Structure 1
Amino acid sequence: MDGNGRWARARGLPRTVGHNSGAEAVRRAVKGAISCGVEYLTLFGFSSENWKRPLAEIDDLMGLLKLYLRREIEELHQNGIRMQVIGDRSRLGPDVVALIEAAETKTAANKKLTLTIALSYGSRAEIVEAARRAAEAVARGELTPDQIDETRFERFLFTAGMPDPDLLIRTSGEKRISNFLLWQCAYAEFVFLEKHWPDFGQEDMKAAIAEFHGRNRRYGATE
């Protein structure tokens, strides 16, 4: 979800306005996903690298996150949406973690859509943590090194139990993954949009999915 700051700057507005408008785009993306029959939607909300931003901006983002968690969870729950968060929670404030845990508990049984928000997330760190947990399982005698294959390794990732993404959409004209779901996106199709995230709407979601359906996914096989 890229381009909140640039969207605001182009309009002579504070970055916080861009982040607020980006939160509205999240609502449209969720509605668009549901209307297209999507069962899993993962949003990259705050990366591990984003902690390098100015403290005032981080505080604004965390405040917006808390507002979203308080304001939107009941509607998500009523619409049958399960919400979960992946990432390093140790760097989040205890009030944020408490709201995340309450939202996850409240929506745990919902089936229409699994909405995953990546917060304080970095894919390299996730893979390293998974390797550490696998090594600990070997040390406890629960696994042998020979038993660690791709399927077993995936169980140690934050996304354990979720299917790999079919489609990755990135806004704002950027054409890179930026440390997002590196393992999981091995065979994902990419769609890059020039528009900034605050301008993203349901029609953009539908168009990206339509483009995805027009592609021939061979997974390394011949045509």
Structure 2
Amino acid sequence: MPDIILNGPEGRLEGRYFHNQTPNAPIALMLHPHPQHGGTMNNKIVYTMFNSFKAMGFSVLRFNFRGVGRSQGSFADGEGELSDAASALDWLQSVNPNARQCWVSGFSFGAWISMQLLMRRPEIDGFVSIAPPANMFDFSFLAPCPSSGLVIQGDRDDVVPESAAAKLVDKLNAQKGIAIDYRIEQGAGHYFENHMEVIDSHIQDYVSQRLTAPVE
């Protein structure tokens, strides 16, 4: 998997990129969990998401937020990390100017950042959000939510209670034209130990359906 260095708002950003050679291949950006709690682009869930999109024919990028790994800068309370994500998406689009779809996917803190990016970038067609921390961060900016997507949540998550994720999903599903596919994984905690194959299955099932759905 090629190592890449991107130009970010605070200096270099370290990433891993897979390029699909198919003309007009769709693109997807992966965002990792909280940098101050050990989150990196090599997190198992982020790695699983990356490979799920790769298997479906996407060109895929995952990267380290500022201050993580070889990425320069320091943690900036989410605002800076959102800028990092926007820069990473800029790079991904520059390498794939004719991509037929654009997706964003995030885990925990990365899910919060990814959904903020969704609001800023109307070209994003869909999202995958795993354990969105609706009990810790404000998601009220999703008004209205610009795209439908998939939310995966463990029913034994002791970091993000399933009830918090369900409340967020209910609010989004109440919006006109938005359909959130909410999948609760039985027996899974926040880090989905021993549930990676199920995460991969959920992502490929949902996204492949969206890719082949007729455009309305």
Normalized against structure 2, the TM-score is what? 0.36
Q: Is the helix fraction higher in 1 or 2? A: 1
Higher Rg of the two aligned structures: 1
**Bigger RCO of structures 1 and 2 (CA < 8 A, at least 6 apart):** 1
